[in-house]
Amino acid sequence: MVFRGSAQARLDSQGRLKIPSTYRKLFSGEYGARVFITSTDGKSLRVYPLENWIRIEEKLLEMTSSSSVISPEKQEVHTRTSTAVTKFQTFTSVYGLETNLDKQGRASISVRLKNSMFPDGEFDCEVTVIGRPTYLEVWKESDITRKLEAIPISEEDSSILATYGI
């Protein structure tokens, strides 16, 4: 099962995210209550069903544990890949929290991530929850509006997608 579409949600005054009912059904039926909540930028958050996060960790381990000798031509790609993996692991570990959804479908967010997303300490706000295939992405309402305005789909983007039949 994949997460699709988007929904409005609320962060409460304690900084807990209430998962919208559309997505909560997937957690209760498909994935269970264990989640990993993290960020790659400190401005948005990602909610992974724990089993999906474990698959990512396995891929990262596979990417970094290659013990074969690398040709000089592939060394640059390997170095860039290692750097990207290290950055991803650093951000997701620093902001990450493994937790359970409570009976109301709420999930706690790490203190560090709350402080990064809400430097003024005002957690109680509306958010947009976006379904990605393997996780939920959550943005403050004001930030997602700016993001959408900043990244319109260009002619080049449309052309690239068209080559894949999209």
Query: How confident is the model over 147-163, as a mean pLDDT?
Result: 90
Band (85; pLDDT cuts 50, 70, 90): confident
Nearest to 130 by CA among 33, 25, 22, 35: 22
pLDDT of residue 69 exceeding 60: no
pLDDT of residue 79: 74
pLDDT of residue 26: 86
Angle at 102 between CA 99 and CA 104, to 5 degrees: 145
pLDDT of residue 121: 82
pLDDT of residue 131: 96
Q: Are 130 and 137 in contact (CB under 8 A)?
A: yes
pLDDT of residue 99: 95
The pTM assigned to this predicted structure is 0.85
Edge-first strand listing for the sheet containing 17-18: 97-100, 34-38, 44-49, 136-140, 125-131, 6-11, 17-18, 106-107
From CA 109, how far away is CA 95, in angstroms rounded? Answer: 9
From CA 36, how far away is CA 145, in angstroms rounded? Answer: 25
49-67 pLDDT, tens digit per residue, is 999 999 999 998 887 776 5
Nearest to 96 by CA among 88, 84, 106, 104: 88
pLDDT of residue 68: 55
Query: How confident is the model over 97-110, as a mean pLDDT?
Result: 94
Structure-token pair, residue 146: 């700016």
Band (70; pLDDT cuts 50, 70, 90): low
pLDDT of residue 64: 73
14-50 pLDDT, tens digit per residue, is 889 999 998 988 887 888 889 999 999 999 999 999 9
Query: How confident is the model over 107-134, as a mean pLDDT?
Result: 91
pLDDT of residue 41: 94
